[in-house]
Amino acid sequence: MSRIEDRLTEALGHEAEALDVDALGLLAATRERLPVRRARRRTPVVLLASAAALMVVAGVGLGIDRLGGDDRVASDRSVDTAFTCPEQQAVDLSGAQDEFVPDLRDQTPAQVAEENRAPRWRFDEDGDTARLYLGNADGTLGSITTYTKRDGTWVMARSTVCGNGSPATPTSDGLRLGVRDTEPHPPQDALATGDRGLTPVLVDDRSVYDYSGLVTRHRSLYVAPCGARFCWSSGQPGSSITTQSPTGHGDARAGLRDLSDIFFLADDMVGRDQPFVFLAMPDQPGATAFEVTAGSEDYSGARLTDPSWGERAVWVALAPYDGRSVRAELRGVDGVIVGQDVEVTDD
């Protein structure tokens, strides 16, 4: 090799060492330019870091999916491996449902992620066991599916996903009304205008999970007086308003409403059992508490009002529903003002 070639080699080496290469970013950008194909043997992807340096990516940190043999396909981005959602539920993989079937027999992990619109995913292999993690855009975990290898093929063993609620094991966070991590949607125009300019009150805001356990959106639930009734709005801007009547203001014989069918809208619960009973009762003179008994457990409600409402207020309570009896009681200092058994709307 000539002295000129020696000097060129040395200069190229110094330049390559000085580069700060975002390997994962380059790998992800390269993957986006490649067509998605069925899993098959392929050679490792080679990335051109610069005109002066070549870098072969054979396995970078946590973002590498092994599909068998020497195959390597990088996942889009990292994703948590532990759940932070308040409710999780097991997926029936027997074939009885087709809402979420993360089957790897005829598709790759990347294709499963794409099919379920998962912004992030990762696939970890450990001998004859593997796990596919689907995550939301912020990296939070939506589902974990475990596979076992049979005759060289990954077969689904079990899958757990985030859910809209589970009556079997309700958590305190799942039963809590109010604001969570997301910014609530503004109230609908009709509620924002209200009755004589009355201000709507936010009842609850929570994420809505798809069958894959991924967050598809969040919905905000508002209430405001309108005439002799209370009007309720559940959903995103543009969703319809559900009006419940009568409120029975000042009338102890009327007013208890089962609003379970608007706590999660019908489209959110297709094929699912309603996990909660959501009850509302207009305030009555002397009322100090609103309690719901579901099964053998008692759940306390909250009184909602706003200065613009004057003396009007409404009590709300959320409890788990598993098909057993439910009873609601509005209580005062002298005992029960209204006590009523509830026939839950289960949509």
**pLDDT per residue of the chain (347 residues) written in tens, 0 to 9:** 555 555 566 666 656 555 555 544 554 454 444 443 323 222 233 332 333 332 333 332 333 333 333 333 345 558 999 998 888 889 989 888 888 999 999 899 999 999 999 999 999 999 999 999 999 998 999 999 999 999 999 999 999 999 877 655 667 777 888 888 788 888 876 676 656 678 899 999 988 888 899 998 888 888 988 877 888 887 776 665 555 544 444 444 457 888 887 787 656 655 566 678 899 999 999 999 999 998 888 899 999 999 999 889 999 999 888 777 889 999 898 888 888 888 765 54
State how far Cα 330 lies from the chain centre: 33
Q: Evaluate whether 92 touches 58 at the Cβ level (below 8 Å).
A: no
The pLDDT value given to residue 316: 94
Q: What pLDDT sits at residue 16?
A: 58
Whole-number Å distance between alpha carbons of 347 and 181: 27
129 phi/psi in degrees, rounded to 5? -125, 145
pLDDT of residue 19: 58
Residue 51 is encoded by which pair of tokens? 């005109």
pLDDT of residue 87: 82
Helix locations, the chain, DSSP H? 3-18, 23-33, 109-115, 189-193, 260-263
CB 28 within 8 A of CB 74: yes
